[in-house]
Amino acid sequence: MAYFAVSSHKTAVKVQKGSNAAGKHVTVPAVVVSRRGRFTVTERRVITNVASPIKEEWQVNLHGPTQEVMRGDLPGLVTVEEVRALEAELDSGAGVEALRRFNKALRAVPADKWEAVLRPVFNELCFNLESFNPAFAACLLQVQRTIGVSDYVRRDMALKNLIQPLAGEYGMHNNQPQLKTHRELFSDFFMSLFGYPLPQLLADSPAPAAAQLLYSQMMRDILGGGGHEDPLAQASYALGYNLAIEYLADYEKTWMLDSFRDLNARVLKKDIDWIFLEVHAEGEAEHAAIGHNAVLNIVPTEHASILRAAMADHDRDFAVFYNRMAELMEGH
Ligand SMILES: [Fe+2]
């Protein structure tokens, strides 16, 4: 049994590559793409966060296009290379630039008023982090709505990928008892940092205007299918949008974990419950790979421009949100 490290993090993530019944169906390798490395797998992957093996251990099944999906009598699908090129555009996009600004501000939070500076940020993040759950559900729904339009196997394979990150938000992972939801993990993180429960912050805070704006934009765009009429074009748009969410989330959570650790070492000096940020920092690369494989199973080659438009839409609105988060911390 071979193990492949897929992360340079202190909390090592290992990919267990072994023989598995699912491998029989895979004729085109599932593709794992992350800015930390690129490799292919053909079997089930087992991801283990070894820092907390009992509480957070999960399995991700990546479903790449099978021979049935690639049947010659069906329309051609977008290629791995096309999707990678689209993802690469995000590397130099507005979203990553906003994250750079946000993390710089987070590391510079002053020691004497860290709580006052971070409270409005956490009020926004709390809403924002949960708001991706309905966004994921909406992306899944748009693929399901191609019933009668898309090929059954293609639709099914895309959904087999997409269901996993959504279920994971609620603590459900393959071959595991149900764990804490990500909302619960965020509450634990908050409590360990601030020393009082999250509902107390929410009760004393105004409406999280920036997070609510991003949420409304995400739902408008995904459920509106990018303005297309055809259900498959709407699904392609939703899959591109999902891809951008997951791809940027990989940057977002990894960076955020590093910045909070830095802030804690310098200013807070607390015994922080890092699990929320750790599972996301380690898990988002896998989620991005899942979103990537969902696209490869169903998006027709002529919809590459729809993917691109969807990714640009999310990049733009995500950037506005994180620039606002940076503003909340700057100038103190
Ligand atoms: Fe999450």
Q: How many domains does the chain have?
A: 1
Q: Is residue 200 part of a domain?
A: yes
Strand order in the sheet with 2-5: 2-5, 13-17, 45-49, 57-60
d(CA 329, CA 332): 7
Mean pLDDT in each 10-residue stretch from start to end of the chain (332 residues)? 31 30 35 42 36 51 95 96 96 97 96 96 98 98 98 98 95 92 97 98 98 98 98 98 95 95 95 94 85 96 98 98 98 83
| pLDDT for the residue 59 | 73
Q: b/e per residue, 200-226, with b = 16+ CB within 10 A?
A: ebeeeeeebebbeebbebbeebbbebb
Q: Is residue 53 part of a domain?
A: no
Spacing, Cα 75 to ligand 1 middle (Å): 34
Spacing, Cα 121 to ligand 1 middle (Å): 17
Q: Is residue 46 part of a domain?
A: no
Q: Is residue 7 part of a domain?
A: no
d(CA 74, CA 68): 10
Write down the residue that tokens 């609510």 correspond to: 212
Spacing, Cα 213 to ligand 1 middle (Å): 19
d(CA 56, CA 129): 19
Spacing, Cα 72 to ligand 1 middle (Å): 38
Q: Is residue 4 part of a domain?
A: no
| pLDDT for the residue 3 | 30
> pTM higher than 0.75, yes or no?
yes
Query: In CATH, what number is assigned to the domain containing residue 113?
Result: 1.20.910.10
Reduced to 3 states (helix: H, G, I; strand: E, B; else coil), residue 172 is coil
Hey, what are 104's tokens? Answer: 């710089």
Spacing, Cα 301 to ligand 1 middle (Å): 31
Nearest to 276 by CA among 188, 168, 178, 196: 188
Task: Count other C-beta atoms under 10 Å from residue 296's C-beta.
Answer: 26
Domain that holds residue 91: 67-329
Q: Which residues make beta-bridge pairs with 37? A: 34
Spacing, Cα 131 to ligand 1 middle (Å): 10
Helix, strand, coil % in the chain, rounded to nearest 5: 65, 10, 25
| pLDDT for the residue 282 | 82
| pLDDT for the residue 19 | 30
| pLDDT for the residue 58 | 61
Spacing, Cα 24 to ligand 1 middle (Å): 31
Q: Is residue 97 part of a domain?
A: yes
Q: Is residue 289 part of a domain?
A: yes
Spacing, Cα 249 to ligand 1 middle (Å): 9
Per-residue pLDDT of 123-132, as tens digits, reads: 999 999 999 9
Question: Helices 275-298 and 152-169: crossing angle, nearest 10°?
Answer: 170
Q: Is residue 26 part of a domain?
A: no
